[in-house]
Amino acid sequence: MRRLFHQRSVLKYTGCFLPVFPLFLLLFSVSCPVFAGEDPFAGLSGTLRIVGSNVGLVPARQAAEKIMAAHPGITITVTMTGAGTGNRQVSLRQADLCLYDRDPGDSAHHGAPLTYVAYGVDPMAVVVNPVNPVGPALNAARIRDLFGGRVKLWSEVGGEPVAVEPMYVEASEVEDRPDNRGNNISVSSQQAMVFMVVRNRGLMGCVSLRDLDAALKPLGVDGVMPGIEAFRQGRYRVYRMMFATYDAARPSLAQAFLKYMQSPEGQQLLVAAGYLPLAEKPAWESVIPVGQPSRLALGQ
């Protein structure tokens, strides 16, 4: 598998841009605490080190602001490391909580056993280069064929005679990669994936609906184009769950943070950032295993 990094990718936070590389550390403090009902941080103090994926990073940052405003004795740091590296740091007790953007079954780490807790829903879209004439809609089985390497050229599904090159956000150096087929490309973040797709005719990948913009061409699935309302109606069925992990032997602040993220206030932050709350987790499974890159690479 080729492993590519785009070091000028950026994350946008309320009007300012922060570089993805080198890794950045965010410290937050504000002056307007907002808690309703039971406060999971009551009586707690110390430092909570959050690491992991950029998926869920914006609401985690906003939650950190509110929590520290209400509790001056608590410091929360948020570092984007990637999901796999973050999991490893938590298992080695170098961090306390990891934002994990894939199914726990795709996790591989060494050290302390980790607890996985779901805190949100991330509807996703399959995207291609905007000049790719394929589509606009394919059935789910055909899309799995594209990711699994059973379709080699875009011309086989109505596109150009250009090689199909699936992309994945690599978990980390310490986790298993999705697959080592020659055409598969591994990148460091969802932002890097967007950057690559818009510049290469043969690439395809999966991004959160919140990150979908005019620079990308989304593919409809089973005749339905991606959208939040279509997802809520059960017509568009592509999503992953948002997890966080922590060492169960050292819960305290990490467990309190997850309780906050699952509270009405925390769930509102998710919705404002473009995700969906746990209450909207569908009863059906995603028709494309976007939360399980190892399965996706096999076309399952």
The CATH architecture that domain 9-121+240-280 belongs to is 3-Layer(aba) Sandwich (3.40)
For 230-264, the pLDDT digits (tens) are 999 999 999 999 999 999 887 789 999 999 999 99
User: 252-262 and 57-70 are packed helices; what angle lies between their axes, rounded to 10 degrees?
Assistant: 110
Nearest to 101 by CA among 163, 36, 167, 190: 190
CATH 3.40.190.10 intervals, the chain: 9-121+240-280, 123-238+287-296
For 57-83, the pLDDT digits (tens) are 999 999 999 999 999 999 999 998 888
Q: What is the gyration radius of the CA atoms in the chain, in angstroms?
A: 19
Separation of CA 287 from chain center: 17
The CATH code for residues 123-238+287-296 is: 3.40.190.10
pTM across the whole model: 0.83
Q: Burial of 183 by CB count in 10 Å (0-12 exposed, 13-18 middle, 19+ buried)?
A: middle
Percent of the chain's residues with pLDDT above 90: 61
Any alpha helices (H) in 151-227, and if so which ranges? 190-197
Is the pLDDT assigned to residue 27 strictly greater than 70? no
Phi, psi torsion values for 206, nearest 5 degrees: -130, 130
Largest separation between any pair of C-alpha atoms in the chain: 63
Is the pLDDT assigned to residue 145 strictly greater than 50? yes
Q: How would DSSP label each residue in 73-105? A: TEEEEEEE--HHHHHHHHHTTS-SEEEE-S-GG
Is the pLDDT assigned to residue 24 strictly greater than 70? no
Q: What is the predicted pLDDT for the residue at 182? A: 57
| CA–CA distance, 250 with 129 (Å, rounded to integer) | 45
Q: What is the predicted pLDDT for the residue at 164? A: 94
The amino acid at 133: P
| CA–CA distance, 240 with 248 (Å, rounded to integer) | 23
Look at residue 27 and give its three-state secondary structure.
Answer: strand
